[in-house]
Amino acid sequence: MKNQEELRELPDKDLKERLDAEVIELNQLRINHTITPLDNSGLLREKRRNIARIKTELRARELKKDQ
């Protein structure tokens, strides 16, 4: 994920699709990590943070609509 501006430019539908994809990838990484340790376990942290960034942007848009 490049930066926050990239997320702000995407429409809601694309953000939700990206969120679903990130969650699936995180779950797959967790499964793989329990079976055999990952070479770069920092990927788990990166995926969690990307998910949080996407959820934050979606929530900000939701709040903006309510105003």
Q: Is the pLDDT of residue 1 over 70?
A: no
Q: Which residue has the higher pLDDT, 41 or 54?
A: 54
Report the alpha-carbon angle 24-10-25, nearest 5: 10
Q: How many CB atoms lie within 10 A of CB 15?
A: 17
pTM score, two decimals? Answer: 0.88
3 state DSSP class of 3: coil
Q: What digits encode the pLDDT tens for the residues 2-46?
A: 578 888 889 999 999 999 999 999 999 999 999 999 899 899 999
The rounded distance, in Å, linking the Cα atoms of 49 and 66 is: 26
